Structure 1
């Protein structure tokens, strides 16, 4: 179970995973060694799984993001999953319940590249694609209370 200080630390790290122990200590009112110990315990319990950076894919020429719903044809589930994993422009993918088996996020440099990548799946799956215009809610933690 996490307490209010753990939650404050987690939220602070979600905003900026490079915050120093000193900054986290100042934010929580704890000493740096106490913050370090709390983070170590959160890591050991599997609550805190890693520290990461956010990179803007546009700086590498990926001007478009798409959300792709993927419905494998009968008997093609494992092949479709293998293909999704093999295409590096798929940056996230969830296996879901419902009519579609996968919902994936794809970054592409052009509409032509989008067509080329989706063509790789066409003999094994049906796809439905939506272009992302804006992301009003970035990745965040759900309420922890």
Structure 2
């Protein structure tokens, strides 16, 4: 569902993407509207599904998970992880699954503590279909906020 955002909405979205911990008072100062207006607008953005959540961004290496890999999957039918993502509910090393078009069905982002743990995980993922993996060396663009432009 598409939601049309005005300049104030985009200013709020920009500010919250930069720092989701800002108070309504701080947001009001940054955006130039009153705190009650900020509260009402943020609630509207949340209810419309524009803002889907707030979370801390954690560096995997800083918490001992220095092996990061992208696993391309070809899986179909009842064992397909895009159709049945609950198959990986007990697999905390899987931090993201993206469903794709084309000759592969998904890319799975995993973070592990060691290469041997990655190998164990690849064997498990192989039970769902064909895998091909690549270890991440660095992330020159780790995340970009969405902007109005």
* Same fold by TM-score greater than 0.5: yes
Q: Which runs of 5+ in 2 are unaligned?
A: none
Secondary structure of the corresponding residue to residue 21 of structure 2: coil
The size of the alignment, in residue pairs, is 145
Partners of 1:80 and 1:124 within 8 A in 2: no
Secondary structure of the corresponding residue to residue 68 of structure 1: strand
Counterpart of 1:122 in structure 2 is 126
How far off its partner does 1:82 sit?
Answer: 4.5
What RMSD over aligned residues (CA atoms) do the two structures have, in Å? 2.2
Counterpart of 2:71 in structure 1 is 68
Q: Could you state the TM-score of these two structures normalised by the residue count of structure 2? A: 0.85
Q: Which runs of 5+ in 1 are unaligned?
A: none
Partners of 1:14 and 1:140 within 8 A in 2: no
* Aligned counterparts of 2:105 and 2:89: Cα–Cα separation in 1: 14
* CA deviation map 1:33-79 (0-9, x unaligned): 11111111112222122222112222321011111101126764269
Q: Could you state the TM-score of these two structures normalised by the residue count of structure 1? A: 0.87
Q: Does 1:111 find its partner at 2:115?
A: yes
Q: Does 1:135 find its partner at 2:139?
A: yes
Counterpart of 1:98 in structure 2 is 102
